[in-house]
Structure 1
Amino acid sequence: MTLSFVKMHAHGDDFVIVDLRGKVDPITSEVARRLGDRNRGIGFNQLAVVLDCEDAAARLLFWNPDGSRLDTCGSATRGVADKLMREADTSSIMLRTNRGLLTCVREPGQRVSVDMGKPLLDWRDIPLAEEVDTSRLPLPGSPTACSMGNPHCTFFVEDLATVDVAAVGPGIETDPLFPRKTNVHFVQVIDRGHIRLRIWERGGGIALGSGSCCCGAVVGGIRRGLLDDTVEVECDGGTVQVKWDGVGGVVLTGSVEPILYGTIASHFLQG
C-alpha cells in the first residue's frame, strides 16, 4: 500500500497532508513519528490526515513529528481548505476537527482564513494542574494561558533578541502546571496592531510559525489590554493576521503554498 501526499507551508510553518477519504487510515503514532523525521522521512511541523465526514467536507486529524496527537492546527487546516476549495471550485468550505466545525474562506491575494473557534480561558479547559488566574500565571514573567484546542502559554517581553527560546522553551513546555504540556510564545509588542512572535512548539521545538500559536498569543495580548482586535503577527517565517473581538471565534488569515507532491513508500506504513 502506498499513499500520496502534498507538503505545504504557511510562512515557513510546514505541514504534510495525506488525503484518506474513502480509504482506511494506516497512520499510527509510530508512522507519524517516522514520517516527521527530517532526515529519514518527509519532515514537518504537523501531519494532517483528511478523512470522510458526514457533516463537513472532511474531518481532520493532526499529528506532531514526535508521534503525539493534537486537536488543532491553524496552518494545516488552511492548507487542507486551500486544497479542497480548489478541487471543488468554491470559495468557502467547512471542515471538522476535534475543535468542532471550522469555517474556511478564500481571501484576496491567495490567502485563506479559518475561524478557529472561541479560545478556552478557564483553567480546567486549557488544562492547568490547579486553579489560577489564566491572565497571569504564577510563573516567572507572569505569562497568560489559553487553549485553542491545544494549550498556549504567552510571555510578553521588551526585546525578543534577549530570549533564548531553545533554552527556556522546553522547561515551560513541561512545567507541572501544564499536565498535557504547552506551546510557549514570546511576544514583543511593536504597537497595538503588530507583534513579533517567537515560538517553542509542544512536541516540535522551535517553529518558524504556527497558526494556533499566533491565535493564542493575540488572545493573551488582547486580554492584557495590549492589543486591538486585529493584529499582524510577525513570526520568524512571515506574517499572518489574527482577529478576535474578545467574545467569539478567533479568525486566522494568511497564505499557504504547496511545496511538493509525492508518494509514501509502503514500508513506512508498517509501523
Structure 2
Amino acid sequence: MQFSKMHGLGNDFMVVDAVTQNVFFLAGADSPPGGSPPWRRFDQLLVVEPPYDPDLDFHYRIFNADGSEVSQCGNGARCFARFVRLKGLTNKRDIRVSTANGRMVLSVTEDDLVRVNMGEPNFEPSQVPFRANKAEKTYINACRRADSIVRRGVHGKSALRHPG
C-alpha cells in the first residue's frame, strides 16, 4: 500500500489513495518488525475513496491512531484537498466530498491555499465527544502532558494553550 505523509497546523496525517489502488485494513493486524504500524505514527489516517454519490468528487474517511473512525477533521480536509490535486486525482478548485458527517466543499484558492466550510459549529454537550452535566457558556478541559498543562477553552471559536 502506498501512502503519503502530510502535515497540517501541527497534525500529522497518513493519506491513502483508495481510488487508484485496492486498499483494505484489518482490525487488530500485527505490528510489522521494528515498530508500530505506519498508521500509529500519525495523528490520523485519511482515506480518499471514490464517491458514493455521482454529484460528489470523493468520499473522505478519517481514522484516529486507535482505529476509531471520526466524522470530521478540518486540518485533514485541507491536506485531503492538496493530496487529490498533487496526485492528479482531480484538477478542480472546488472539491465536493462526503464524510461520515455529511457533505462539504474544499476550495483551493489561486495561491493554492485550501478553505474548508465545515458548517456551523455545534457545542450542544450531547453532540460533542465529551461529557458535561449541562449546557454552559464556556467549557474548560485540562489535561497534563509531560512538558506542559494544556487547557482548552471553548467559547465561540476560540481555543487557548497555556504552558504549564
Using the size of structure 2 for normalisation, the TM-score is 0.73
Aligned partner of 1:77: which letter? A
Identity of aligned residues (%): 22
- State the superposition RMSD in angstroms: 3.3
Aligned partner of 2:59: which letter? R
Q: Which residue of 2 aligns with 1:69?
A: 69
Contact kept, 8 Å, 2:46 with 2:61, in 1: the verdict is yes
> 5 Å matches for 1:42-57?
42=38, 43-55=41-53, 56-57=56-57
Sort the Cα spacing of 1:185 and 1:101 in 2 relative to 1 into closer, same or farther, 3 A. Answer: farther
Aligned residue pairs total 153
Sort the Cα spacing of 1:113 and 1:30 in 2 relative to 1 into closer, same or farther, 3 A. Answer: farther
Post-superposition offset of 1:185: 4.9
Q: Secondary structure at the match of 1:219?
A: coil
Could you give the per-residue CA deviations for residues 192-244 of structure 1, whole angstroms, max 9, x where no partner exists? xxxxxxxxxxxxxxxxxxxxxxxxx57353xxxxxxxxxxx898xxxxxxxxx
Post-superposition offset of 1:186: 3.0
Uncovered stretches (5+) of structure 2, i.e. residues with no partner:
none
Could you give the per-residue CA deviations for residues 66-102 of structure 1, whole angstroms, max 9, x where no partner exists? 2222221222211111122342222121111112111
Aligned partner of 2:19: which letter? R
| 2-structure distance, mates of 1:220, 1:92 | 25
| 2-structure distance, mates of 1:60, 1:48 | 7
- 1:166 corresponds to 2:132: no
Using the size of structure 1 for normalisation, the TM-score is 0.47
> 5 Å matches for 1:62-211?
62-86=62-86, 87=88, 88-127=90-129, 129=131, 131-137=133-139, 143=140, 153=141, 165-166=144-145, 185-186=151-152
Contact kept, 8 Å, 1:45 with 1:65, in 2: the verdict is yes
Q: Which residue of 1 aligns with 2:156?
A: 219
| 2-structure distance, mates of 1:218, 1:129 | 16
Contact kept, 8 Å, 2:9 with 2:75, in 1: the verdict is no
Uncovered stretches (5+) of structure 1, i.e. residues with no partner:
138-142, 144-152, 156-163, 170-183, 188-216, 222-232, 236-271
Aligned partner of 2:156: which letter? V
Contact kept, 8 Å, 1:60 with 1:95, in 2: the verdict is yes
Post-superposition offset of 1:129: 4.7
